Amino acid sequence: MIPGPILDANVSALERAPRVLAAVRASALPADVDVWTTSQGEVSGRVGGVTLHHAEEPSRDARRWAAEAVDRATSANATRITVVGFALGHHLEALVRAFDGDVVVVEPDAGLLRLALSTRDLSDLLARVEIQTEQDLVGLENSCVVPYAPLRLLGGDAYAAAVKQCELAASRGVEGLRVLVVTPMYGGSHPIALQSHRALCRLGHDAELLDLADFLPSYQKLGLFGARPSRRRVTESLFSEALADGVAARVEEGGFDLVLALAQAPLGGNALEAIRRAGALSALWFVEDRRLFSYWREVAQHYDHVFTIQQGECAAEFRSAGAREVDYLPCAAAPDVHRPLALRAEERRVFGSDVSFVGAGYRNRRQSFRRFLDMDFRLWGSDWERAPEFDRVLQRGGTRVSTEDSVRIWNASKVNLNLHSSTYCDGVEPRGDFVNPRTFEIAASGAFQVVDRRSLLASAFDVGSEVVAVDSVSEMREATRRYLDEPEERARIAEAGRARVLREHTYDHRMESLVAQIVARHPARFSHGARPWTVGDARKEASGAVADYLARFDDATPFTLAEMVRPIPDAEGPLSEPEALFVFLQQFDDLYLSEYRR
């Protein structure tokens, strides 16, 4: 079958979505299209080698897909489903038959939509669903976002981006969540917890930090009991359980919507179940290599949502351990901390060198950094004991370096090495996937880095122009030498890297995304927990007479009918038009809507 022009019936049905219609009209059909009629007389098709629907039984297959989508929406109490991907519409036709609520469709590829509109009379479907463009998403609140998987294969990043946009739109207006951020007692995820908490506050949530590092001195003093190691582990475990119970007690008291725990936070199954009973959702941001640590296998099933810094098989592994929802959430930087510094000469002398590394002395780093000992190289950080070859370059006797000093070092060094740790390989880990926080932090600091290549690096940075990546220690040495001689190129790459972080990789971005993904899974729950709209919010979008009417209220006044009509009985003289309209809406609410509020 050769697709012809857009069918007239579809054009008339799409007239109520003029932007979409215009985009479709301006688009061309995708290349490599194959459309056919099945033996049952149904239309299916393939684009770029990806089959859009079942080749023989598209509507039957669509019913299965729709049933799953409805299950998902029902379990989330959603009244609206947002589908990313139109394809030829079979899945949407099945969905509107199976789902009573609203269906919104977002199709990032206008050409694909053109294909559907040129091949099938979809006027009934178009009358039932609302099509939106990803640039102009409105009214997705309380909606469950469901990607149509085949198009992810076809559209790759564009579809992933559209899904993310939809999730953000679904969470729009969700502010003021009560969030408890639980830190570990110590470790690399502790500062991430602090930054996450700050970002949540900046985003307008009512976030509280439960900093378990306060208990670290006591925990460390458990050794004073002088117990055997095996007995001591029992005591430590009971100590952790006591902390976990304390966290649950706090949640029971605090009326939280969400508990966000960072990796290594001492929360076990009992505490997480208590948190669930207290009515809060729980999320774990597992900012570690799942292959290196295994404790997540015991706790994943007790969290409502797990965020990982790894992709690929990672989600499947977490799910097989019982995790309900698993999403990718890479590391990030805090631009107010990780920032360019104007260093004084003295600071440059103390912290500066041609080449530096800040971090712990893992095996592969010990092996690799020997090869930089012929340069002006300084090594900062802990765990470099029993490596006398580094004595000359190791700073401050191998003590821990503060965040503020790390930023000074990165700013003062010409080339910052960034080699992801590995406990089993000697140099660059060949199957390294996630990107460590240091990559984002150095870039945010406006500093130049040479980083070992990770499979997920290219999705975060444009390799070559925003960071320099290498596949081996030899390449790292070679790149270091080369860029030492090219100060302008270093500056250009560092600046581009920083700009990218500011655009996409701050903790604000991560927390916004985390909240959006949680809200997308539990839309109805958060539509109630969300901060109510205030007059200030309404004023930003209002114009004309209603804007004038709103001027009489404080910005903080809740934007509700009750508040809008409250001053009216005391007013003298005729009602203004906005007053009368708000009274009308309030009467309408009393008359028709009270039963829906029960």
Interaction site with another protein (CB under 8 A): 139, 141-142, 173, 527, 532-533, 537-538, 541-542, 545-546, 559-561, 568, 573-575, 577-585, 587-593, 596-597
384 beta partners:
none
Least distance (Å) from another protein to the CB of residue 165?
18
* Nearest by Cα to 464 from 487, 436, 496, 432: 496
* Nearest by Cα to 177 from 252, 260, 249, 250: 260
CA–CA distances in Å: residue 474 to residues 62, 394, 477, 489, 539: 52, 22, 5, 21, 60
Least distance (Å) from another protein to the CB of residue 518?
19
Task: Give the nearer residue to another protein in terms of CB position, either 68 or 548.
Answer: 548
Helix orientation angle between 507-521 and 157-170, rounded to the nearest 10 degrees: 80
Task: Give the nearer residue to another protein in terms of CB position, either 472 or 586.
Answer: 586
Least distance (Å) from another protein to the CB of residue 306?
30
Task: Give the nearer residue to another protein in terms of CB position, either 384 or 553.
Answer: 553
Least distance (Å) from another protein to the CB of residue 203?
17
Which two three-digit tokens encode residue 220? 């460390």
Least distance (Å) from another protein to the CB of residue 546?
6
Least distance (Å) from another protein to the CB of residue 73?
17
463 beta partners:
467
Least distance (Å) from another protein to the CB of residue 249?
34
d(CA 440, CA 334): 9
Least distance (Å) from another protein to the CB of residue 591?
5
Cβ neighbours for 341, distance < 8 A, ≥ 6 positions apart: 347, 407, 408, 411, 445
Helices (H), 140-286: 149-155, 157-170, 189-202, 216-220, 229-254, 269-277
Task: Give the nearer residue to another protein in terms of CB position, either 343 or 524.
Answer: 524
Task: Give the nearer residue to another protein in terms of CB position, either 228 or 597.
Answer: 597
Task: Give the nearer residue to another protein in terms of CB position, either 15 or 486.
Answer: 15
Least distance (Å) from another protein to the CB of residue 174?
11
Task: Give the nearer residue to another protein in terms of CB position, either 97 or 164.
Answer: 97
CA–CA distances in Å: residue 164 to residues 160, 508, 517, 519: 6, 15, 8, 12
Task: Give the nearer residue to another protein in terms of CB position, either 49 or 574.
Answer: 574
Cβ neighbours for 138, distance < 8 A, ≥ 6 positions apart: 132, 169
Task: Give the nearer residue to another protein in terms of CB position, either 19 or 231.
Answer: 19
Write a three-state SS string for 398-465.
HCCCCHHHHHHHHHHEEEEEECCCCCCCCCCCCCCCCCCHHHHHHHHCCCCEEEECCCCHHHHCCECC
Separation of CA 162 from chain center: 13
Task: Give the nearer residue to another protein in terms of CB position, either 225 or 592.
Answer: 592
Least distance (Å) from another protein to the CB of residue 598?
10
CA–CA distances in Å: residue 472 to residues 11, 477, 529: 56, 9, 50
Task: Give the nearer residue to another protein in terms of CB position, either 26 or 593.
Answer: 593
d(CA 374, CA 381): 20
Least distance (Å) from another protein to the CB of residue 136?
14
SS3 303: coil
What is the DSSP secondary structure assignment for residue 590, as one 8-state letter? I
Residues 550/542, Cβ–Cβ less than 8 Å: yes
Could you count the other beta carbons within 10 Å of the beta carbon of residue 385? 10
